[in-house]
Amino acid sequence: MAVPINKKTLKYLAELSRIELKKESEEKLLKDLQKILAYFEELESVDTENIEPMTGGTIEKNIFREDALTQINADNTQINADNISENQRKNLRKSAITEQFPEEENGFLKVPAVFE
Amino acid sequence: MNIRNLTIKKFHEGLINKEFSAFEITKAFFDYIKEKDQEIDAYLYLMEDLALSQANKIDVEIASQSFKISNYLFGVPLAIKDNILIEGEPTTAGSKILENYRAAYDATVIKKLKEVGAIFLGKTNLDEFAMGSSTENSAFKITKNPHDLERVPGGSSGGSAAAVAAGMAVAALGSDTGGSIRQPASFCGVVGLKPTYGAVSRYGLIAMASSLDQIGPITKTVEDARILFEAIKGKDELDATSVNFQFPISNFQWEDIRKLKIGLPKEYFYNTDLYRLNTDSGGLNVDLRRNSGLDKEVEKAMEETIKLLKSLKIEFKEISLPHTKYALSCYYIIMPAEASANLARYDGIRYARIPRGSQTKHGSFADQRKSALEEIYFRQRGEGFGPEVKRRIILGTFVLSAGYYDAYYTKAQKVRRLIKNDFDKAFEEVDVILTPVSPTPAFKIGEKIDDPLSMYLSDIFTIPVNLAGLPGISIPINSKLKTQNPKLPIGFQLIGKPFHEADILGIGEYYEKISE
């Protein structure tokens, strides 16, 4: 397999990843990625015919829970969720989350206009 | 009272026998940290006010005798890796992008530790988002190995391992995605346990690769690792992948331990190909190939350990893990894929925003039109992430992109299955597998930072364990040989069957006793 990454693909990938790359770091990054991808070529020699992909950790079983609403108390001090047992109830203050927002208005997250 | 050598067990005895109060010993830890950490740089920040008020409460409870005598963690001062959330405290994950973030809630492991009265001294340094093997990728500081200040402590839980090794905490929590607890434990001469995937809740751990991440203890003794593991394990409804397992992890007898059979994977000890990079892959420097082999000191220390265990009449058997040599490739496809998805949330919008910094220098996209929202994304992520994080996000984005998904990502998941099948097969014949932790002892600061592949190789023995979801422990080799120069710690790794932490902890505790 030819090394399938070049300057153009790197720019495209950075665009997809929403990462601004500095010009001076691009060359090193490209070289590193090419080396790493070349190393991956050894996998081509592994016979994986009829092998089921392994998607997760130790026990690969779906865990289901009720798709129920999580309610926030009027005083905003606690989250009560019917699907979370009493001792799991988190003392989660809404403000602890909204305080992190760089910009907020009336407790809502504020972002620049998406359509200009 | 020498606080530096305190284990959880010794601390507990001292506390209940009133040799010291929780307050005075916690204060002593902060005094020592403020002096010692100037040269080690293990901590990112200290939580002195909270810790001292916690300690006061402990002393009140001791005075009123309203505590359980069997609770070994009562009042124990711990260090916590800074990718584990403690409500109201800064949590940076070693990244500039979270420099101003404060945790909104407690991780489940923290909640559990608070319930048993453990005290948190502070948050420890790590490679940014736990991506690295030396802690050099931290955006804030470089942690030094307490055994040699010119060397790395390993990583990514390097701050936690260095803090415990230097006696700046009784024990610590780290996280392990490909070796991030075990490799720094080995480099710093302490014990590190990576539990079975699902044994400990990941709720409140800043996610790197969700199918691989586990939280675990870093301690001075195997017994302490067992105590801390016992306190944090268990099913948590807030982590769907956590598992309710009933396997007992204490009260094992020597008679049970000596019946365990230990496997030695021939590929790890004899087949030098494992430590060598593919010569055809182009662009790799010769030094890297030459230097990536199993270090002579490590080899000798391993031989010594095996000999000691054999002298106890523990049975050994050679096993084969044929796909293990593909583990590194497999891991460096799956892990970045998951990380690129997990790190999409750091957008400068939902969490704290960093000052825009040097904006005058436009990147590659100066010619493209962007909305104000996109500008924030690109700038925040461009300025906020370091080189290794960018490398992995872009690599992950690549292996998941249309046209390459099957060739890389699906292929790697299939190889992961083969690696796990190898272990399953081996565990039909043996109970525990013994390997080195890392091919070399601690390397020099700066030695590998510019060559990602050579850095990745230092996790070659630990990565397969995460891919297969197994428990692994790193235990310092108490070498009687005097040939090491300088004398750097070396650990050995015991790998167990899923949820059989008891087996590796059991052998580990006996090893500790007999090697003293």
B338 CB neighbours in chain A (<8 A) are none
Return the pLDDT at A113. Answer: 80
- CATH number, domain B3-232, options 3.90.1300.10, 3.30.565.10, 3.40.50.720, 3.20.20.30: 3.90.1300.10
Residue B316 has pLDDT above 90, yes or no: yes
Tell me which of B244 and B233 has the higher pLDDT: B233
B157 has catalytic annotation: no
Residue B183 and residue B153: Cα distance in Å, rounded?
9
Q: How many Cβ atoms from other residues are within 10 Å of residue B229's Cβ?
A: 22
**Residue B350, pLDDT score:** 86
Residue A116 domain flag: no
Greatest CA span in chain A, whole angstroms? 61
Q: Which amino acid is at B17?
A: N
Q: Would A83 be classed as within a structural domain?
A: yes
* pLDDT by residue, tens only, chain A of 116 residues: 556 799 999 999 999 999 999 988 899 999 999 999 999 999 999 999 999 999 877 676 777 878 877 654 443 334 444 444 444 444 455 677 787 888 888 878 888 887 76
**Residue A61 domain-assigned (yes or no):** no
Domain coordinates in residue numbering, chain B: 3-232
What are the E-state strand segments in B88-170?
A: 119-124
ipTM: 0.86
| Best B202, B212, B323, B390 residue to mutate vs chain A (most A CBs within 10 Å) | B390
Is residue B53 part of the annotated active site? The answer reads: no
Do B382 and A21 count as a contact with CB atoms less than 8 A apart?
yes
Q: Please write down the HEC assignment for all residues of B431-500.
A: CEEEEECCCCCCCECCCCCCCHHHHHHHHCCCHHHHHCCCCEEEEECCCCCCCCCCCCCCEEEEEECCCC
In which band, very low, low, confident or very high, does the pLDDT at B40 lie, cut at 50, 70 and 90? very high
pLDDT value of residue A108: 85
pTM: 0.91
For chain B, state the CA radius of gyration. Answer: 22
The residue of chain B with its CA nearest to that of A7 is: B364
Task: Please indicate, yes or no, if residue A78 is contained in any of the structural domains.
Answer: yes
Tally of domains in chain A = 2
Q: Take residue B216 and report the two structure tokens written for it.
A: 């675990």
Range of the domain at A41: 7-45
**CB-count burial class (<10 Å; 0-12, 13-18, 19+) for B360:** exposed
B180 has catalytic annotation: yes
Within-domain flag for A65: no
Q: Identify which of B197, B350, B393 has the shortest CB distance to residue A17.
A: B393
DSSP letter, residue B75: T
Say which residue, B225 or B358, is predicted with more confidence.
Answer: B225
Selecting among B180, B186, B292, B458, the annotated active-site residue is B180
Q: What pLDDT does residue A97 have?
A: 77
